[in-house]
Amino acid sequence: MSAGQRAGQANPGHVAIIMDGNGRWAQMRGLPRQEGHRRGLEALRGAVRNAGELGVKILTLYSFSTENWRRPATEVSFLLGLLKRFVEKDLGQLHAAGVRVRVIGGRDDLAADIRRLVEHAETVTRDNTRMTLVVAFNYGSRDEIVRAARQLATDAAAGRIDAAAIDEAMLASRLDTADLPDPELVIRTSGETRISNFLLWQAAYAEFVFTPVLWPDFDRAAFEEALAEYGRRERRFGGLSEPVDRAAGAA
Ligand code: IPE
Ligand code: IPE
Ligand code: MG
């Protein structure tokens, strides 16, 4: 534990980030929004590197939501192009660094070239163990839960499972994140304090850190500050804090 993290929370193993504020970053400088997204991609690369160096084993990045399709077609295609080029250009380097890439989000309605790229990135890196980079793309938590529910209903109707046996673990096993532990920390940049359909199920007990820093400016210091803030939190999971527990036990 680093100095300054007095309150007992070790660094989180899984950090999820809502990377927000690219547009405002550009607007403040009189630049087109696209420039903000370009700089946002640089920040994404930095975040992966910093996460690895700071001992974060799983980093989940919200890159494109199911609602982001509502943006103007020019912005949507720019964002898709940027992400495609990122995977094409950086995959080799990520693989060499021992990063396993996972992509969460709906796949069925994606363009064939993007789907192939996603599958390729996952296949190439699937045995890497140094760190896991989870890219949330065409991701929406409600869509994810609906897809899981549909699978369970189909299996129940076909007699493969007993509907009465559906529990939290079984539903979780049908989510895109089935093989991943829940995030301990969710960070959102740009000062917005909402969840925007991100990891609704998985973040049930996550700590949230909201920072005013715009995503392109989210550097090592900002990452460390968010981890330090997490370190100062007390997580109770519905129970009582430890000294109270002990007092109750002694009574
Ligand atoms: C985050 O930046 C990137 C995506 C949502 C894809 P925004 O594009 O949302 O930036 P703002 O919120 O308009 O500043
Ligand atoms: C959330 O940011 C989605 C991503 C960061 C990919 P948005 O900018 O789309 O969220 P809202 O519209 O402000 O809630
Ligand atoms: Mg935004």
One-letter identity of residue 55: G
DSSP 143-201: HHHHHHHHHHHHHHHTTSS-GGG--HHHHHTTSTTTTSPPPSEEEE-TT----TTSSTT
Q: Would you state the pLDDT for residue 101?
A: 98
First to last CA, the chain: 33
Total structural domains in the chain?
1
- Condensed to tens digits (0 to 9), the pLDDT of residues 87-143 reads 999 999 999 999 999 999 999 999 999 999 999 999 999 999 999 999 999 999 999
In a domain, residue 203? The reply is: yes
In a domain, residue 219? The reply is: yes
Q: Which of 32, 106, 121 is nearest to 65 (CA)?
A: 106
CA-closest residue to ligand 1 atom 6: 64
∠ CA 92-38-27 to the nearest 5 degrees? Answer: 165
Torsion sign (Cα): 119, 124, 126, 128: negative
- Give the C-alpha separation, 165 to 156, whole Å: 10
In a domain, residue 34? The reply is: yes
- Condensed to tens digits (0 to 9), the pLDDT of residues 196-206 reads 999 999 999 99
* Residue 217 a catalytic site member: no
* Residue 11 a catalytic site member: no
- Condensed to tens digits (0 to 9), the pLDDT of residues 170-182 reads 999 999 999 999 9
How many C-beta atoms lie closer than 10 Å to residue 221's C-beta? 11
What phi-psi label fits residue 84: left (phi over 0), alpha (psi between -120 and 50 degrees) or beta? alpha
Which residues sit with their C-beta closer than 6 Å to ligand 2?
Answer: 18-20, 62-65, 68, 192, 194, 196
The pair of three-digit structure tokens given for residue 31, joined into one six-digit string:
């630049």
In a domain, residue 89? The reply is: yes
Q: Does 183 score more than 60 pLDDT?
A: yes
Quick one: pLDDT band at residue 242, thresholds 50, 70, 90? confident
- Give the C-alpha separation, 201 to 181, whole Å: 12
CA-closest residue to ligand 2 atom 11: 196
Structural domain range at position 91: 14-140+182-232
Quick one: pLDDT band at residue 241, thresholds 50, 70, 90? confident
In a domain, residue 66? The reply is: yes
In a domain, residue 23? The reply is: yes
Q: Would you state the pLDDT for residue 232?
A: 96
pTM (two decimals)? 0.94
The pair of three-digit structure tokens given for residue 38, joined into one six-digit string:
């370009």
CATH number of the structural domain spanning residue 228: 3.40.1180.10
Which ligand lies nearest to the CA atom of residue 26 in the structure?
A: 1
Quick one: pLDDT band at residue 5, thresholds 50, 70, 90? very low
Using alpha carbons, list the distances in angstroms from residue 233 to 46, 171, 199, 210: 25, 29, 20, 14
**Could you give the 3-state DSSP secondary structure of residue 131?**
strand
In a domain, residue 174? The reply is: no
